[in-house]
Structures are given as structure tokens and as C-alpha cells.
């Protein structure tokens, strides 16, 4: 958006106006036309080709005849005026004509670069179709090939060469008010490993989900990549690689850059929410623990994954029966996701009556060397809390047969590890085995939905990290839904922004998990779906945002005064991607 308009505050007016419409109608779609801008306001607008090249303002063929005359657009566009609905139809026809998912990703990125409102309208109205393209699983492939598909910069790159000048660099961002930053160092992109600066596709995709799924205004979103180098030799040898060509910073030099970035971000954008994304285990826990009580920050791989998994367990128990404290959880993987899930499950079990020691004893981990037990001397710090007294077990199948868990959760990003033998063992042990294969992209998933249902005779309660279509078995059709962080983090983010949370706490994620589970209907459960339809995601995000903000107010962590109607207030802050009039 033009700097002049940003200084005058037109962005905040449009956001407020869109929110008022959202509070009157469904959070999914608002059709009432916004109020017209005054002629004096239109004079401050860019005109002609400058306007058409600004994706935050461009409406392309939807500019009316009056707007074309007032803004110098006559003759620069085809003469026929189209509605936004017609433009959506054109975009979908072009999109659906493409066979390759990466081509679809590039197509949507190009749309984002030329017409922001239309991009978000397409995503918000078609989440089931678009989310697997703008985020998992396709975003993983896009990151791997980021240097090849790169067309236009989006977000900010803070490199190892910028130590000492990060604040000055952040002031180059065109919007003075930023509500949320998603930042990665690119070392652990999904299950793909070190992709260096190519990891920028992750924060860009996450923030698109914030806007599409929770209505966070695009101007409040800032994607950031900390380019600290890469240890990926193929990237270092790739002439099209977009990052600095050096080995990764480690130790004090890495910490210096991260510290400077976090402090500078809070100085330039006071009160900003910082979401750490896809940092490797060696840094993720340490960085989170360093900043979680100093600024408003969270790690989505640790806390967001935990929130959505806990919500899935709540839904699964409505099918299988029993209480959460009665469950025994066995995770395949012992990194950020696994320990984050176990920590949040422990918190929930304690809230339901167990001691922390008892709750921890209900959660077990298996890593690449077998069962995590106290006698092992090779354990990283984050695994120690879940290292129990037990003889060593060499592999996951042996752990399942020995420990007899009620639920297995795969987060190790090793494809095919929920073997037929593992699934059959779970079916022997449990009437309704809970099986969460959460790794992504699809090539890394522990098992497919069909494998889970067939190996368990249709008795599995299944959730997945990558998308799978409906499965018919013995005449019954199951509709598995992704146990995807996109159900959780958008609502957490807008809830924190709405109340100006000082910190984001684990009990906020616990409240978010319960709020999400409460949105799952009996009809969802009847078809094996543990999560609500993505078509309801904006509505669901409002419930999560309210739950998060309520925790902040209860704990004295909200800087803003509590509004009389918290739900209506949060709805009023949500961005509406329908066009507004410029004359």
C-alpha cells in the first residue's frame, strides 16, 4: 500500500469497516458492500498503472466505470466490468485446469502478487481445495524448489551479515503497524530438513492462513527468514539458491542474531506476536524458553502441534469412550512435536485430577534408538522428562506390544513407520485404537488413511498430518481430516492480537484445544472426522480466539481492556476480502 495512505490510517479504517460487516453476518462470507470513500479520500489514491500494480489496492476488471474515470484507469483495462464473483470463477477455472500442484502453487502466488483481496477471497471461500496448495503438503515442494520458482520477494530476509543493523533493516518494511511475525531459520522445514533461505515459503504460507482462516489483516502480517546459512550442500552448490552461501551460524553468533532480531522487532513493532517456525531441535526449545516470558511469542511446532493433537484426542474420546487421564500415549518421535504434545497432554491430565508425575507416566516416546528410558545416557534435555524406568526396547513395534498404548502419534517424519504389524497390534490391544499419523508432507506420513482403516478392520480412530480423501471399507465411508496446526494457530494469533496479550502461555493452547474440540459435531464424528470442516474455519477461529483472550484476561496478561462483548469485538477485527468502493 502506498506510504502516503498508510500514514493517513486508511488501512485501519478499512479493517474496522470489514470487521463491522463480519460481526453482522457469517464469518465465512460477507456480501454487504462497504461504504463509499469520499472524493477527497480518492484523491489520495494512486492512479493509473501505479494503482493497477499495487496488489493491496488493485481490483483489476472489477473497477467500476466511476472508479475508472476518477482514478485514471479508462483504457488501461478491458471495457467490461466484472464482479469479484466472476473473477473468482475465472481464477478457479484457470487453477483447476492445472494438473501439477507446484504449478497451482505458482499460480496462486502470482495472484497474490497482483490482487491481494481476490487471492484471499479465493482461499477463504475454497479452503479444502486451496489449503493443501498454499501450505502442506505442496509448500514443502515449493520450498525445495524456491530458487527455481522465485518471482517476487515477499517478507523480509535478515541475514547473518545484518548483525548490528537489524532494527534499521526492519524499518524498511512499508507498514508501521505489524501484529504478527512468523519467523524461521529454515533448518527443519516440515520433514524435509535444512532448506536455508528457501524456507521463506513457510512463513509466507502460514501468514496467508492467518488471513484466510482467522481474518488477520494482511498489513498486520510480516514473514521473516533468518538467513544464517545452510549445511545443505546441494543448496550451497546451486547457482539459483537465494540465500547466503555459507555454513550455518552456531552457538553465540546464532544467539546474537536471534536476540537482536527479537528485541528489534519489539522496538519497531511494539507488542508484536512472534511465532517461531521450523527451527531445529538444537535451537527450538532454547529459543522458545529464552523469550516466552519476555515477549509475546510461541513456537508453533511445539505448542501449536500440541494444541491440535490434544484437540484430536478430545474428539477421539467422544468415539472410544473413557477419559484423558485413562489414556496411554506413545509417540513415534521425540523432538519438538512429540515433547510438545506430551507436555500439553500432561497439563490437561493434571487439570483433570492427576499429579504431574502420574500424568508424565502416561506419555512415552520412541526415537531412532528405541524407547526413551531413564537408563539411556544419550538423551537430549527435552526428552528427559519422559524418560521412564523401563527396560530398553529396540523399536516401535516392540514398544506398542509391550506398553499397550491406547493412542499412537507419529511425528518423526519417517514414511511408512506405522506398518501393518503396528496397526494390527493396536487393533488387538484396543477396541477403538487411536492412530494419529501426523508427519508431512505426504511422503513422510507414517501410514495412509486406507492402511489404517484396513489393518484395523475399520475400527481405527484416525487423524492425519497430510490430506487424504474419503475411504470406503466394508460399506462404510470414513472422512479423515487433517490434524493440522492451521485449526489452532490462526485463532491463537488473532486472540492474542485482539487483547494485546503480553505473553502466550501453555494454558492458552489448552483452552484453544478444548474450544476446537467443542466445534466438532456429532455428524463429524459419525464419519470418523475428529475436526470440523475447513469450510467453518473462520467461525472456529473466532471461538478459539475468544478462549485464548479469556485466559489472557483471567491471568492479567491482556494489555487492552476487556470489551463488553468479546466475541463481537474479535469479529469486528477480522479482515473481509471483498472489494470496497474507491469513489
**Active site members:** 135, 206
- Measured CA to CA, the distance from residue 149 to residue 441 in angstroms comes to 19
User: Would strands 471-473 and 476-478 be described as parallel, antiparallel, or unpaired?
Assistant: antiparallel
- Measured CA to CA, the distance from residue 516 to residue 514 in angstroms comes to 5
Closest CA to 211 of 514, 486, 581: 486
Q: Which three cell numbers stand for residue 174?
A: 512499508
Residue with cell string 532448506: 195
Q: Which three cell numbers stand for residue 2?
A: 502506498
Closest CA to 491 of 337, 307, 315, 316: 307
Helix, strand, or coil here: 370?
A: strand
Annotate 133-146 with b (16+ C-beta within 10 A) or e (fewer): bbbbbbbbbbbbbb
Q: What DSSP line would sit under 227-286, residue for residue?
A: E-----HHHHT-TT--S--SPPP-HHHHHHHHHHHHHHHHHHSTT-EEEE-S--HHHHHH
**Peptide bond before 441: cis, by omega within 30 degrees of 0?**
yes
Residue 121 DSSP label: H
Residue 33: which residues within 8 A CB-CB, separation 6 or more?
578, 580, 581
Residue 358: which residues within 8 A CB-CB, separation 6 or more?
325, 349
Cα angle, residue 293 at apex, residues 289 and 295 outer, rounded to 5°: 105
Q: Which three cell numbers stand for residue 572?
A: 469486528
**Residue 581: which region, alpha, beta or left (left: phi > 0; alpha: psi -120 to 50)?**
beta
Residue 558 DSSP label: B
- Measured CA to CA, the distance from residue 458 to residue 407 in angstroms comes to 16
Strand order in the sheet with 180-184: 156-159, 221-227, 180-184, 273-276, 297-299
- Measured CA to CA, the distance from residue 438 to residue 486 in angstroms comes to 13
Helix, strand, or coil here: 149?
A: helix
Amino acid at each position: 500500500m502506498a506510504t502516503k495512505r498508510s500514514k493517513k490510517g486508511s488501512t485501519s479504517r478499512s479493517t474496522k469497516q470489514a470487521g463491522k460487516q463480519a460481526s453482522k453476518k457469517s464469518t465465512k462470507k460477507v456480501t454487504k458492500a462497504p461504504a463509499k470513500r469520499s472524493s477527497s479520500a480518492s484523491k489520495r489514491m494512486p492512479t493509473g498503472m501505479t494503482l493497477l500494480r499495487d496488489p493491496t489496492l488493485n481490483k483489476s476488471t472489477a473497477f467500476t466505470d466511476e472508479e475508472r474515470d476518477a482514478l485514471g484507469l479508462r483504457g488501461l483495462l478491458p471495457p467490461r466490468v466484472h464482479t469479484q464473483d466472476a473473477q473468482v470463477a475465472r481464477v478457479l477455472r484457470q487453477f483447476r485446469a492445472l494438473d501439477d500442484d507446484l504449478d497451482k502453487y505458482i499460480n496462486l502466488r502470482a495472484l497474490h502478487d497482483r490482487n491481494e483481496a481476490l487471492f484471499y477471497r479465493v482461499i477463504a471461500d475454497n479452503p479444502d481445495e486451496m489449503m493443501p496448495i498454499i501450505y502442506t503438503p505442496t509448500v514443502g515442494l515449493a520450498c525445495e524448489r524456491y530458487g527455481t520458482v522465485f518471482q517476487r520477494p515477499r517478507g523480509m530476509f535478515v541475514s547473518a551479515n545484518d548483525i548490528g543493523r537489524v532494527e534499521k533493516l526492519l524499518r524498511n518494511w512499508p507498514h508501521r503497524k505489524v501484529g504478527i511475525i512468523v519467523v524461521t531459520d529454515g533448518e527443519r522445514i516440515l520433514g524435509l530438513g535444512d532448506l536455508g533461505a528457501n524456507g521463506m515459503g513457510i512463513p509466507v504460507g502460514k501468514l496467508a492462513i492467518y488471513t484466510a482462516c482467522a481474518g488477520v489483516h494482511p498489513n498486520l502480517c510480516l514473514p521473516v527468514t533468518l538467513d544464517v546459512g545452510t549445511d545443505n550442500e546441494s543448496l550451497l552448490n546451486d547457482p539459483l539458491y537465494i540465500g547466503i552461501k555459507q555454513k550455518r551460524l552456531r552457538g553465540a553468533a546464532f544467539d546474537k542474531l536471534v536476540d537482536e532480531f527479537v528485541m528489534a522487532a519489539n522496538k519497531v513493532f511494539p507488542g508484536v506476536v512472534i511465532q517461531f517456525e521450523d527451527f531445529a531441535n538444537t535451537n527450538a526449545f532454547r529459543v522458545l524458553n529464552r523469550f516466552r516470558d519476555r515477549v509475546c511469542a510461541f513456537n508453533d511446532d511445539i505448542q501449536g502441534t500440541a494444541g491440535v493433537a490434544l484437540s484430536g484426542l478430545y474428539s477421539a474420546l467422544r468415539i472410544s469412550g473413557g477419559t484423558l487421564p485413562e489414556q496411554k500415549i506413545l509417540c513415534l518421535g521425540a523432538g519438538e512435536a512429540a515433547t510438545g504434545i506430551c507436555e500439553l497432554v500432561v497439563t490437561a491430565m493434571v487439570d483433570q485430577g492427576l499429579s504431574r508425575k502420574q500424568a508424565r507416566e502416561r506419555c512415552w516416546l520412541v526415537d531412532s534408538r528405541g524407547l526413551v528410558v531413564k537408563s539411556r545416557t544419550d538423551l537430549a534435555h527435552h526428552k528427559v522428562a519422559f524418560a521412564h524406568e523401563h527396560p530398553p526396547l529396540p523399536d516401535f513395534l516392540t514398544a506398542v506390544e509391550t506398553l499397550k498404548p491406547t493412542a499412537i502419534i507419529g511425528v518423526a517424519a519417517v514414511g511408512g513407520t506405522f506398518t501393518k504389524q503396528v496397526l494390527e497390534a493396536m487393533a488387538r490391544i484396543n477396541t477403538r485404537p487411536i492412530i494419529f499419523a501426523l508427519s508431512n508432507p505426504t511422503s513422510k506420513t507414517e501410514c495412509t488413511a486406507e492402511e489404517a482403516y484396513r489393518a484395523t478392520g475399520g475400527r481405527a480412530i484416525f487423524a492425519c498430518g497430510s490430506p487424504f480423501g474419503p475411504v470406503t471399507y466394508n460399506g462404510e465411508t470414513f472422512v479423515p481430516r487433517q490434524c493440522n496446526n492451521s485449526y489452532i494457530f490462526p485463532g491463537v494469533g488473532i486472540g492474542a492480537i485482539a487483547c494485546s496479550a503480553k505473553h502466550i502461555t501453555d494454558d492458552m493452547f489448552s483452552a484453544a484445544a478444548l474450544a476446537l474440540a467443542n466445534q466438532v459435531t456429532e455428524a463429524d464424528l459419525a464419519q470418523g472426522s475428529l475436526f470440523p470442516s475447513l469450510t467453518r474455519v473462520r467461525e472456529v477461529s473466532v471461538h478459539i480466539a475468544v478462549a485464548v483472550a479469556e485466559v489472557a484476561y483471567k491471568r492479567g496478561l491482556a494489555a487492552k481492556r476487556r470489551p463488553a462483548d468479546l466475541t463481537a469485538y474479535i469479529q469486528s477485527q477480522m479482515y473481509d476480502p471483498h472489494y470496497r468502493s474507491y469513489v
